[in-house]
Amino acid sequence: MAVTVKTFANASEATGALASDRAARYLGGGTLVMRALNEGDVSISTIVRARDQALTRIDVSGPRVTLGAGVTFARVLAERDLAFLHAPARSIGGPAVRNMGTVGGNLFATNPYGDFTVALLALDATIAVQGGFGSRDIPIEEFLQGRERQAGTLVLSVSCTRPASSEAFRYRKIARIKPKGGSVITLAAHLPVSGGRIAGARIALGSMAPTPIRARAAERTLEGRSLDAATIAAAASAATEGTSPSDNALGSAWYRREIVGVYLRRLLAEQE
Amino acid sequence: MTKIPLQFRHNGRDVAIFVDGGTNLLVALRELIGDMTPKFGCGQGGCGTCSVLIDGELHLSCLTLAETVAGRSVETLDGMKQGPNLHPLQRAFAENFAAQCGYCTPGMLMAAKALLDRNSAPSRADVIEAISGNICRCTGYEPIINAILAAAGGRASA
């Protein structure tokens, strides 16, 4: 079925078009929206695009980095100053998908996709969105909780603070297919250290709930402690708390619950 | 529904077509231009057999909105051979038994070309990464990896 394509020069005009038409969807890299059209999704009658340069900007000049929603994973990988995001970017798709898929689109990718968003959740990212209300910044967790109610708004950019060191941010995607495939589970941990103790631990899990979620119970076991064996074991045993994984072709909910603690222990202990 | 005029370069030749809104590049290439080399596999971005180069970058044509290539250069497998001569990659695929049923081959060759255009001496790991978005259900990948390495080696020594 043919759809109407509306292309705008800037993001505000595109937002206006999204806000005025419930059946309009914003087209980023195409890996979600074109896929939906190919599958015959009749809920989409209008595609909205914006050629706004601001949407593809990368700002790595300060301690806080900002990625335009239209930045592709290939561009993240080409940016030396974004080394901490290279592991999640590389874990997505093959080269073609990374040349197309965008940081903003990944926020809307459902299981078993959306791995970059798991990393952003562990980094306490902020999502800048524009809607009929104007522009505002939303904490990523709040954004994900309301993800299905984002009609009429446009994601402009994501931003997060650079981790203090390479050991402070860790990422692992578990897939059945080598070198990569859809996520069985995905884990990301941000472990800021202050005076030898973890302060402000963030652990994010993908494929353990309908959206990426924080493993708050595991985070609490790490708070104020050093990463010794007992602390790691406590975090691993708390990993499933608050999760609600589903069955899919890549793994069952039972399997996901069984392995999440194992891989969290390995991630925290820096084991393969 | 009104048709949208679209012009772009297809394997070095200017083409002009009219597409319906929402038409993907794969449909435009196959049904409107008559280039049957990119294949329809999954329509979801999972198989890679529709891979083409857009301004030299590997993309999935089934997930590309056709009108986004306006004014850009699209390369497909159809443009790979040079006159009557096969491209070194095509010859290496034939000589290394890298094609069985052949359905993945157009995408494999475009992914390989995207790699060798940027890196003329790839490692085995580079090759595996380069074709990681392309699924082959016949060969088990080893002959394909060997063919791409052979083509790179041949090119380096030529």
What is the residue type of A205?
L
B30 vs chain A: nearest CA distance in angstroms?
15
**B58 contacts in A (CB within 8 Å)?**
95-96, 99
Are the Cβ atoms of B133 and A35 closer than 8 angstroms?
no
The residue behind tokens 């860790």 is A170
pLDDT for position B155: 57
Of B44, B63, B133, the CB nearest to A94: B133
Convert the pLDDT of each residue in B71-92 to its tens digit: 999 999 999 988 899 999 999 9
Q: How many CB atoms are located within 10 Å of the residue B122 CB?
A: 18
Are the Cβ atoms of A37 and B59 closer than 8 angstroms?
no
pLDDT for position B154: 75
Are the Cβ atoms of B114 and A94 closer than 8 angstroms?
no
In sequence order, which residues have a C-beta less than 8 Å from that of residue B125 and are 6 or more positions away? none
- d(CA A17, CA A37) in angstroms, rounded, equals 19
Task: Report ipTM (2 d.p.).
Answer: 0.95
* Residue ranges of chain B whose pLDDT lies below 70: 1, 155-158
A114 vs chain B: nearest CA distance in angstroms?
14
A28 vs chain B: nearest CA distance in angstroms?
10
Q: Which residues of B touch A (CB under 8 A)?
A: 1, 4, 20-24, 43-45, 48, 51, 57-60, 62-65, 67-68, 111, 114-115, 128-134
Which site among B2, B20, B42, B132 would you substitute to test the A interface, given the most A Cβ atoms closer than 10 Å to its Cβ? B132
Ramachandran class of B41: left when φ > 0, alpha when ψ lies in -120 to 50, beta otherwise: alpha
Q: CB pairs below 8 Å between A and B: how many?
A: 91
Ramachandran class of B55: left when φ > 0, alpha when ψ lies in -120 to 50, beta otherwise: left
Are the Cβ atoms of A47 and B45 closer than 8 angstroms?
no
Phi, psi of A185 (to 5 degrees): -145, 160
pLDDT for position A22: 87
Q: Which residues of A touch B (CB under 8 A)?
A: 1-5, 7, 27, 29-31, 34-35, 37-39, 47, 49, 74, 93-97, 99-100, 179-180
Retrieve residue B157's tokens. Answer: 């020594």
pLDDT for position A180: 77
* Residue ranges of chain A whose pLDDT lies below 50: none
A155 vs chain B: nearest CA distance in angstroms?
20
Q: How many CB atoms are located within 10 Å of the residue B154 CB?
A: 14
Alpha-carbon dihedral of residues A131, A39, B74, A70, nearest 10 degrees? 20
Chain B residue with minimal CA distance to A4? Answer: B21
Are the Cβ atoms of A31 and B51 closer than 8 angstroms?
no
pLDDT for position A1: 63
Q: Please, what's the largest Cα pairwise distance for chain A?
A: 61
Q: Are A65 and A79 in contact (CB under 8 A)?
A: no
**B132 contacts in A (CB within 8 Å)?**
94-95, 179-180
pLDDT for position B71: 98
Q: pTM of the prediction?
A: 0.96
B103 vs chain A: nearest CA distance in angstroms?
18
Which site among A35, A45, A77, A176 would you substitute to test the B interface, given the most B Cβ atoms closer than 10 Å to its Cβ? A35
